[in-house]
Structure 1
Amino acid sequence: MRIAVVGIHGAWSSEVLADAVGRATGERILVDLDRARLDLPGGRLLCPDQLGRPVDLCALDALCVKKVARSYSPEMLDRLEMLRIPAARGVRVFSDPARILRLVDRLACTVTLASVGVPLPPTTITEDPEQALDALRAYGRAILKPLFTSKARGMALVDAEALDAAELVRAVAGFQARNPVLYIQKALDLRGQDLGVCFLGGQYLGTYARRKEPDAQDDGPAAWNTSTASGGRYAPFEPPQDIIDLAWRAGAPFGLDFTCVDVALTADGPYVFEVSAFGGFRGLKAAHGIDVAEAFVAYALKELAG
């Protein structure tokens, strides 16, 4: 059984998943799509492994997708499209790239969640700066979010009540210079934490909290950014069944083999931020000691055995 991990050379989660595959199959293959070559006439998708040797992904038994790029960007869509070729040729891909494509773009993920009635923070999407200004004034405090990002990178908190009209216009124009589509979400009082609720094969695996101690630079207890890139830490959390059910309902339309659903608990009830195909390994390990890589490989091998 030849199984490769699609990931990033040197990245912790990619390496531990490749280690787990190597232990289970006797062959460790970690490929990075940043040097992929799709040869359509030859029916090959060639990627270098950890030793620089070319691997034809179309000739393998399975792929485990951990990461497709070092950072979120539109290029991720192109790389996922290339992964559809081995999937079309009978290589089992965990998770199916056509399914991952539906959530890499924040807008695509949001539209899917809204379509199935999952509770989302009040959100406006527009390319019109005047419409954006109206939304910001209505929300009071809002987060401007790039469509391709993780760990809150590139996001901006805008307090419309604290800015005069000219300052608000400049804030929108500055963000739109980098992000033509304006994705605006009302800032919620997260009370210092939000949750990652994880599922493997549709079954609940565990939940971790991202917690951030309030400080003067982060707007006190209403801190909107709990990401580990901004000082948040992972902590164990045992959610009630209704939160698990909500997260499952959010992840179900995407049909991923492994997924992590970001949930906020607020005074107004729970909200879902997004569904991820890539996060959760480190959070579950740090919070509960769960080795997601081992569980993922065991699941993949069971699926392949039929």
Structure 2
Amino acid sequence: MRMAVVGIHGGWSSEALADAVGLATGERILVDLDQARLDLPGGTGARPSLVCPDQHGRPVDLCALDALCIKKVAKGYAPQMIDRLEMLRVPAARGVRCFSEPERILRLVDRLACTVTLANAGMPLPPTTITEDPAQALDAVRAYGRAVLKPLFTSKARGMALLDAEALDAAELLRALQGFQAQNPVMYIQQALDLRGQDLGVCFLGGEYLGTYARRKEPGSSTTEGGWSTSTASGGRYAPFDPPLEIIDLARRAGEAFGLSFTCVDVALTADGPFIFEVSAFGGFRGLMAARGIDVAAAFTAHALRELAR
């Protein structure tokens, strides 16, 4: 059984998963798509190859493996993640089992694709507007009062900005929107929620509930005034949390819209009820370990091997 981890060389969660897979299979293979080469030779029946270097720099043809555990496809969120997932569809089509399937992860990389999938599944989302028209964007920010501008490719609140329609006049708001649009042609605008100091990561493996952690803002932190973000990149800390069954069921339904092997569903508990922010194919490993002591890498590996044994 040859099973590789697709991840980032030196990345904490990628290395942890590679360690777990290596321990279970007797061969540790961690490949990074930074130097991937996809060859699609012409001719009927020609065999494609997708070659990436492993942790020792040795070339590995992913199309010749039995399975792939996809942990990370890039160091940061960017449109090229879509291209790399498209390349991973080639070994998947050749019969290499993927945990999770690249086609399913594709629905999560772009924030808009994730939001549309959740909306179509009837999930409770924060009020959200997507537009390329600055005038429409200005109307949305005024209607929301306080709005968060979110890049379509980002994680841990990087690149996000809060606009307060009561604190800025129309000209200032328009300038802020135009500045955001200079880097983000499609503007994703969401009403700012009062998270009351925390939001949740509710995690599932193979559709089964694994555990929940909270991202909790330290009291007195001024990095995200107004409580609109608890990201660990802006001062949030992981903490254990035991949600009620109805929150677990809500998060499960959100995750089922994507059908991933492992997923983390971001849930906000507000005075107006629970909201789903997003579903992640890549997060959750560190949060569950730090808050709950759950070794997701070992559990993920065991799940993949059980599925392959079927």
Q: TM-score range by the shorter chain?
A: over 0.9
Paired position in structure 2 for 1:183: 188
TM-superposed deviation, 1:216 = 5.9
- Runs of 4 or more off by more than 4 Å in structure 1? none
Provide the secondary structure at the position in 2 that maps to 1:131. Answer: helix
The answer to whether structure 1 residue 299 and structure 2 residue 299 are counterparts is: no
| C-alpha contact (below 8 Å) 2:223/2:235 kept by paired residues | no
Residues 130, 44 of structure 1: alpha-carbon distance in 2 compared, 3 angstrom cutoff: same
Paired position in structure 2 for 1:241: 245
Unpaired segments ≥5 residues, structure 1: none
Residue type matched to 1:109 in 2? C
TM-superposed deviation, 1:214 = 3.6
| C-alpha contact (below 8 Å) 2:267/2:277 kept by paired residues | yes
TM-superposed deviation, 1:116 = 1.1
Aligned residues: 305
Listed one character per residue, the Cα deviations across residues 52-72 of structure 1 (whole Å, up to 9, x for unaligned) are: 000000000000000000000
Paired position in structure 2 for 1:212: 217
How many angstroms apart in 2 are the aligned matches of 1:240 and 1:144?
30
TM-score, normalization by structure 2: 0.97
TM-score, normalization by structure 1: 0.98
Paired position in structure 2 for 1:250: 254
Paired position in structure 2 for 1:113: 118
Paired position in structure 1 for 2:96: 91
Residues 214, 131 of structure 1: alpha-carbon distance in 2 compared, 3 angstrom cutoff: farther
Paired position in structure 1 for 2:108: 103
TM-superposed deviation, 1:215 = 2.7
How many angstroms apart in 2 are the aligned matches of 1:3 and 1:188?
42
Residue type matched to 1:137 in 2? R
Paired position in structure 1 for 2:162: 157
Residue type matched to 2:233 in 1? A
Provide the secondary structure at the position in 2 that maps to 1:254. Answer: coil
Residue type matched to 2:232 in 1? T
How many angstroms apart in 2 are the aligned matches of 1:216 and 1:7?
33
Unpaired segments ≥5 residues, structure 2: 42-46
The answer to whether structure 1 residue 36 and structure 2 residue 36 are counterparts is: yes
Paired position in structure 2 for 1:273: 277
Provide the secondary structure at the position in 2 that maps to 1:270. Answer: strand
Listed one character per residue, the Cα deviations across residues 205-245 of structure 1 (whole Å, up to 9, x for unaligned) are: 0000000124362455x311111111110000000000000
How many angstroms apart in 2 are the aligned matches of 1:9 and 1:60?
19
How many angstroms apart in 1 are the aligned matches of 2:177 and 2:128?
15
| C-alpha contact (below 8 Å) 1:214/1:223 kept by paired residues | no
Residue type matched to 2:64 in 1? A
| C-alpha contact (below 8 Å) 1:143/1:186 kept by paired residues | yes
- Structural mapping, 1:211-230, within 5 Å: 211-215=216-220, 217-218=222-223, 222-230=226-234
| C-alpha contact (below 8 Å) 2:149/2:162 kept by paired residues | yes
The answer to whether structure 1 residue 45 and structure 2 residue 45 are counterparts is: no
Paired position in structure 2 for 1:81: 86
Percent of residue pairs bearing the same amino acid type: 81
| C-alpha contact (below 8 Å) 1:196/1:263 kept by paired residues | yes
What is the Cα-based RMSD across aligned positions, in Å?
0.8
TM-superposed deviation, 1:165 = 1.4
How many angstroms apart in 2 are the aligned matches of 1:201 and 1:153?
29
| C-alpha contact (below 8 Å) 2:202/2:265 kept by paired residues | yes
